[in-house]
Amino acid sequence: MRSLGRWVPSRMRKRHAPMEPLTTRFDTALTHARKVYERDGDWEAVLAWLRAEGFGQAKACLATCRVLDVDLNEAKRIVTFSPTWEDRLESNAALEEALVAALEQSADAPSPDIPQRPRRYWIEFDYGDWFGPPGPVRIGVTSETVEDALTQIADRWFDGGSPPPIERLIEDVDVNQLIDDGEFPASDSRGHPVYGVPASPGIWYPWDQTETH
């Protein structure tokens, strides 16, 4: 599986090695994409290369904004209807949210005096030796800190107590990439969304549709 965001190794599981941050790879790829486009003038070839390198539509839109110097709506149009991404025309429900997240990630880090922005966490639990109350294996939640994210999870499923050991935890997760990797579908068989609004604080997967963010 490709990197979905910044990997946070679990204290419970030491066998996983830290992954390279996606933002670092993207900055390197953006520099290369700019040079190739200035040399060849073929943006479609650049989009195909970005996808082959594992970058989703959100990062492709961000690169299009920066290199072609177009606004966000035009970048989305170029990427969405490009031959490179034509196979995704019917499955772009999460593109706008992921794009907003990508733009936020590209901004400079805030001052320590400024409150930290909410981050999208994807957390997977290990129930192998767990004897507590059952809960979801995979949970998506947006909060300012991982501690707050775990508190929300504990309150929802574990009666305020400690959740099971963490198997995997990803900060600033790319929701489009989760869908691409089959972690969950963009919608159910009736076309209804199966996740909430990752851009807003709270638990967005599994989604309790009786709650609003």
d(CA 141, CA 143): 7
Instruction: Using 70 as the pLDDT threshold, list the residues of the chain that sit under it.
Output: 1-24, 88-116, 209-213
Task: State residue 124's pLDDT score.
Answer: 92
Nearby residues of 201 by Cβ (< 8 Å), 6 or more positions away: 118, 142, 143, 144, 213
Task: State residue 111's pLDDT score.
Answer: 46
pLDDT by residue (tens digit) across 156-184? 888 777 788 888 899 999 998 998 888 88
Task: State residue 114's pLDDT score.
Answer: 47
Task: State residue 37's pLDDT score.
Answer: 93
Buried b (16+ CB within 10 A) or exposed e, 131-167: eeeebbeebbbbbeebebbbebbeebbbeeeebbebb
d(CA 139, CA 160): 16
Task: State residue 79's pLDDT score.
Answer: 85
| Helix 22-40, helix 43-52: angle, nearest 10 | 150
Q: Token digits for 67? A: 């290199």
Nearby residues of 136 by Cβ (< 8 Å), 6 or more positions away: 125, 157, 206
Nearby residues of 168 by Cβ (< 8 Å), 6 or more positions away: 10, 13, 16, 122, 123, 124
Rounded to 5, what percent of the chain is helix, strand, coil? 40, 15, 45
Please report which residue ranges of the chain form alpha helices under DSSP H.
22-40, 43-52, 57-68, 72-80, 95-106, 146-157, 175-180
Task: Say if residues 140 and 204 touch (Cβ distance below 8 Å).
Answer: yes
Q: Token digits for 133? A: 């109350």
Task: State residue 134's pLDDT score.
Answer: 84
**Residue 42: C-alpha distances to residues 28, 47, 53, 155 (Å):** 19, 9, 17, 52
